[in-house]
Amino acid sequence: MSVLTPEFIYFDLDDTLLNHKKAEQNGLADVHDHFEEFSDISLKTLVDTYHHINKGLWEEYGRGEIDRHILHRRRFEETFRELGIRTELYEEAGKVYMQYYRNHWEWIDGAEEAYQSIAQKYEVGIITNGFAETQWMKIDQFGFRETARHIVISEEVGVMKPQPKIFDHSTELAGVDRDKILYVGDSPTSDVKGGLNAGWMVAWYKSNPTELEATLPDLVFDDFSVLMKELGI
Ligand SMILES: [Mg+2]
């Protein structure tokens, strides 16, 4: 007996269906190997510095204070400056990082089988906070154009999750009542908060939730077979 009975299911892309964190980590490891300037700097130091700077820049981007070109430039420029490396190299670093990052894209464990099975039984779509150029490359590479009825990218809508506008837009596209839409995502703010505020059902891809976290969405799962079972597959 399935517990969730949605009429439309949206999925988040990064770190829900595709393993962005691992691709980012591997891409940064390749950047670390690429520049001899890093020989005295550990990979961990590079990763920690990059994450700290990138997170701040994404917050600025989310508030509309900077555009993506500035974000792309500053994330390596400021990382290199912080690590005492010639900042003239930042442009090359940004380019090689994107090439390396793309080489490491892969599905989250169990997500491919679950997504494909769910897409056969339900109408599905994708909502992603990301840059259109990069996200469309992922969408093509993994065949989402063939299976997803609607693909919503924050850069094209003009706002990021969890802002209501992107959920309202997606609700309209789905063409069903809000409470018949299920959102599957990993982020407590972008996905869980955004989806619940929109009046959607939410399935949170999350390991070891606290007692409070477990009560927030309609489902918390860390194994895609659990999601399939709840959907009667
Ligand atoms: Mg995500």
pLDDT at residue 197 tops 90: yes
pLDDT at residue 1 tops 60: no
CA of 187 to the centre of ligand 1 (A): 5
Contact between residue 111 and residue 14 where contact means Cβ atoms under 8 Å apart: no
CA of 22 to the centre of ligand 1 (A): 13
Alpha-carbon distances of 56 from 20, 84, 157, 192, rounded to whole Å: 18, 19, 22, 21
Half-sphere exposure of 197 (CA within 13 A, CB side): 15
* Start-end of H helices in 64-190: 68-82, 90-103, 111-121, 132-141, 144-147, 154-157, 164-174
**Residue 182 backbone class (left: φ over 0; alpha: ψ -120 to 50; beta: rest):** beta
Contact between residue 27 and residue 100 where contact means Cβ atoms under 8 Å apart: yes
- Cβ < 5 A residues, ion ligand 1: 12, 14-15, 186-187
CA of 171 to the centre of ligand 1 (A): 19
Q: For residue 125, report the phi and psi dihedrals to the nearest 5 degrees.
A: -150, 175
Q: Cα–Cα distance between 185 and 11 in angstroms, integer?
A: 6
Mean pLDDT confidence for 156-163: 95
The residues, ordered by sequence, that sit 6+ positions from 140 with a Cβ below 8 Å of its Cβ are none
Give residue 2's pLDDT band: very low, low, confident or very high (50, 70, 90): low
**Nearest Cα residue to 129 out of 209, 71, 176:** 71
pTM of the entire predicted model: 0.94
CA of 221 to the centre of ligand 1 (A): 14
CA of 45 to the centre of ligand 1 (A): 24
CA of 191 to the centre of ligand 1 (A): 8
Domain at 21-103: CATH code: 1.10.150.240
Enumerate the domain spans of the chain. 8-19+107-230, 21-103
Domain at 8-19+107-230: CATH code: 3.40.50.1000
Give residue 5's pLDDT band: very low, low, confident or very high (50, 70, 90): very high
CA of 88 to the centre of ligand 1 (A): 32
